[in-house]
Amino acid sequence: MAAEVRARAFWQTRIASARSWAATTIPPILALGNSYTSSMNLDLAVAAAKQNYADARPNSAAWARRAAEVLPGGNTRSVLAFEPFPFRVERAEGKYLWDVDGHQYVDFLGNYTAGLLGHSPEPVEKAVRAVLDSGWSLGSVHRDEVQLAELLTDRFPSIEQVRFTNSGTEANLMALALATHTTGRSKVVVFQHGYHGGVLAFGETANPVNVPHHWLVLPYNDETAVVEAFRAHGADIACVLVEPMQGSAGCIPGTPEFLSLLRNQCSSSGSLLIFDEVMTSRFSLGGAQEVLEIAPDLTTLGKYLAGGFSFGAFGGSRKIMGTFDPKRSGGPVASLAHAGTFNNNVISMAAGVATLREMVNPAVLDRTNKLGESLRKDLNEIFLQAGVGMCATGQGSLMNIHGTAGPVRSAADLAGGDDRLKELLFFALLDHGFYIARRGFIALSFEITAADVANLLTSIKEWSTAHRAPV
């Protein structure tokens, strides 16, 4: 009780201070009209946008105060945090979200790609409800895990056998363990700004929660750096772990030449190539690897493949995956164990079977990816015509808006971008009833229509015109 009183008093003081600031500051901002050219004016505009956002969401603010008392930073998933506080969702259906203050949003974020099917898709909901009637904490094997494995091996030719995990992070951790074990080598090539899970993130500085592999961190899309790394360390490189398109870094596609070089270098040196397709498997029925016509040795999966429930998987050839066969004994490579109470949990397995049998097919993937390609093209045209220093990168149904005019080949090209432009756009779109990530990330779901995209583009065009650079 005392903690609640302290929290209430703290936030009341902050709100009073913010309102006092707004009363004296917002009128001068409004007087600026459409001219946001100076750094100070941008700062004032962002502050005003945050204040307007907060004033319209008192219930979310109250929940933020409660959350801050028991959750560090008020959340348990860092990517969801933004200032002044995130709106709190009350319910979701189809393509819509509703928050506790009664605002409705068209969801263009798709839970950072896990929500490809939209919210509460009927085939998945039906499958999960049915399986719950038979019990859900079995401590045993069951039919759906076999059926889901068959569906995945049919979909990805490079995967002959697969094992399940609870997330893409776990899938990548197990793939790395498998690669280092089977090759007997220690070095792992990854790429700057790559993200393969909470303990496998490679930003500007070392991530203190990363697992302690012997990392070789190279620039993304830099073919020369790859050749030099293999020349110097090839005999010790166990594997290369790469996203065919870097997602968290800003939806930056790997060039076909770069990714083909990785395949050739791994083949020549006896290293394994691991494609992290947790995000990119939506690019076609066979994932990015099918589009690129590059077969990795191991593939990691996750996100939407269980219809929005917790899921991960990794797979490859029988020879490599056979390392997990407990009947294997002796030989040059001993067997490995792979534990996990919820690896084959009945909810994710049933949801995955329903997803792949009833919802994911070439036609719907093609429609959604084409809609994304069109959206990204139109976004870049709008920014160019308005003279706004922004651009969008990505592939298919995934993209990211950046505070720079580009071009963007790697995350290093984003260093001079203005994050305040993205923040202003983020709050403006919320006002118009559209939800994208604060960082500019967009992931289309099957529920998003051409009309939804047209409405989003209208709002962004209006915003871009209002923030047109002076001639």
The set of catalytic residues is: 195, 276, 303
**H-assigned helices in 393-449:** 419-431
Coil, strand or helix: which one is 117? Answer: coil
Let me know if 299 is exposed, middle or buried by CB neighbors in 10 A (0-12, 13-18, 19+): buried
51 Cβ neighbours under 8 A, 6+ residues apart? 18, 21, 22, 26
What is d(CA 332, CA 184) in angstroms, rounded to the nearest whole number?
10
| DSSP state letter for 383 | H
DSSP state of 156: -
Among candidate residues 365, 323, 293, the one with its CA nearest the CA of residue 117: 365
Tokens, residue 233: 């360390």
Please answer whether residues 88 and 100 qualify as being in contact, where contact means their C-beta atoms are separated by less than 8 angstroms. yes
Q: Decide: 400 and 392 in contact? Cβ < 8 Å.
A: yes
Q: Is 188 in a helix, a strand, or coil?
A: strand
Nearest to 397 by CA among 156, 113, 196, 95: 113
Residue whose token pair is 């990015």: 288
First-residue to last-residue Cα distance in the chain: 58
CA 317 vs. chain centroid, Å, equals 27
Kind and range of the H or E run holding 242: strand 237-242
Closest CA to 194 of 268, 244, 124, 256: 244
Helix pair 419-431, 450-466: axis angle to 10 deg? 120
In which residue are the tokens 């792979």 written? 338
Closest CA to 383 of 433, 427, 438, 422: 422
Q: Give the whole-angstrom CA distance, residue 192 versus residue 15.
A: 40
My answer on whether omega of the bond before 84 falls inside 30° of 0, hence cis, is yes
Q: Which residues, 6 or more positions from 402, have their beta carbon under 8 angstroms from its beta carbon?
A: 250, 390, 391, 392, 393, 408, 414, 417, 422, 440
Three-state DSSP state, 403: coil
* Amino acid of residue 227: V
